Structure formats: structure tokens, C-alpha cells
Amino acid sequence: MTGDKRAIRDGYDAIVDEYLAHRTNEHADRPHLDWLCDRLADGARVLDAGCGAGVPVAERLAADHDVVGIDFSREQLRRAREDVTQAGFVQGDMNALGFADDSFDAICAFFSLIHVPLDEHACVAAAFHRVLRPGGLAVLTVGGNEGWDGNNPDWLETGVEMRWSFPDTETSARQFADVGFEIHETRSIENSTFEVLFAENSED
């Protein structure tokens, strides 16, 4: 694990309660999850990539779908297992997904790709393409009009340093299109500079 990834993992380990409160109070994800829910058959297998404590994706979808969350923060996963008992959770890296090809019907990556080192974004797109079945759906938070690579030394006023690393939306869309995704739509996020990509995995 690189130093940057270790810093992100340690940061999320340190602020489980604060980050969960932040995500629970944030309602901007709901319409984006609605888009996915409207298109999933009951029992669909969904990967929550960078799941944190399971909010909002696993919490929302686990009652009707087979949800697997992956994150490299042990403490976030501990909280997810306590609070979202209907989903499964594993510790791991989005750039090294230990799942078989075509394992999932959908992937959500809410506010997680934005922490992936810039030189790994294309690799993560390829990993998502591999584990998502042809015709599967992806809902992804991406960087908006401008990319950024930097740190916040006092994130959420916790005294904890957090790191971000992301290209702009156009670059992210191109990276996913290059590995075989069709981009259906891009939406802004309320009160945020980030955006959401809605994509479908192409038939090989």
C-alpha cells in the first residue's frame, strides 16, 4: 500500500462517527440511487465500491438486493457490518478487485474514486468493467469541471488529514468509455463541485 493510500485509510479509520454523521445528513445521493433502483431487478448483485460505513448505498439497497461493500478502512467496515447486517463487506482495494469476471449487475462508487491516485484511475475503470456483467450499470462520483490532487489537513474539522486525487469529469468519462462503458448521463450534485456519471457496461 502506498503512503497516500495509507493516509486515506488511517484518516477514515480515525473519523468513523464524524464521517457517518456527515453522510447520513447528506441527501444529495438519493436521486442518483433512485436512478439505479428503478433499473435493477430484485436480487441484483451490487458492488458498493468504497463503501465506508455502508451509507447510503448498502443501507438503501441491501433489503432488496445482494450487496457487497469493499473498502480498505477496517474501522469503516466494522461499523458497516454492525449497522447494515443484510449486506456483505470485505476489506480491499478497488484497483485489485478479488471477484470473478461478470460478478455484478451494478457498481456504485460514491465519493470513493476521488481518493484513487491519478495514475490508477484508468486501472480502476478497467477493474470495474471486468467484474460488471455486460449491460450492467455503474453510478460513479467524479471530479466535476476541475481535477485536483491535494490534501485537507483538517477535514470535517476533525484535525484529521485527508487526501484527494481525481481528474475532471471529461477525463473520467473518457477513461470509462475507453475500457467499454457507455456514458448515459452526467449530473451535478447539489451543493457540490463533484458530478455523477451514469454508465452501462458494453456487450463484449
pLDDT at 30 over 90: no
Contacts of 72 (CB under 8 A, 6+ apart): 1, 5, 8, 9, 91, 92, 93
- What CATH number labels 3-201? 3.40.50.150
Q: What are the domain boundaries of the chain?
A: 3-201
Question: Would the pTM count as exceeding 0.85?
Answer: yes
pLDDT digits (tens, 9 = 90+) for 114-150: 999 999 999 999 999 999 999 999 999 999 999 999 9
The Cα-based distances of 110 to 139, 143, 195, 198, 204 in angstroms read 8, 11, 10, 12, 26
**What pLDDT does 151 receive?**
95
**What pLDDT does 37 receive?**
96
The stretch 94-112 carries a mean pLDDT of 97
**What pLDDT does 182 receive?**
98
Mean pLDDT of the chain: 95
pLDDT at 27 over 90: no
**What pLDDT does 169 receive?**
98
pLDDT at 26 over 70: no
In terms of residues, how long is the chain?
204
For 70, list phi and psi in degrees, rounded to 5.
-130, 135
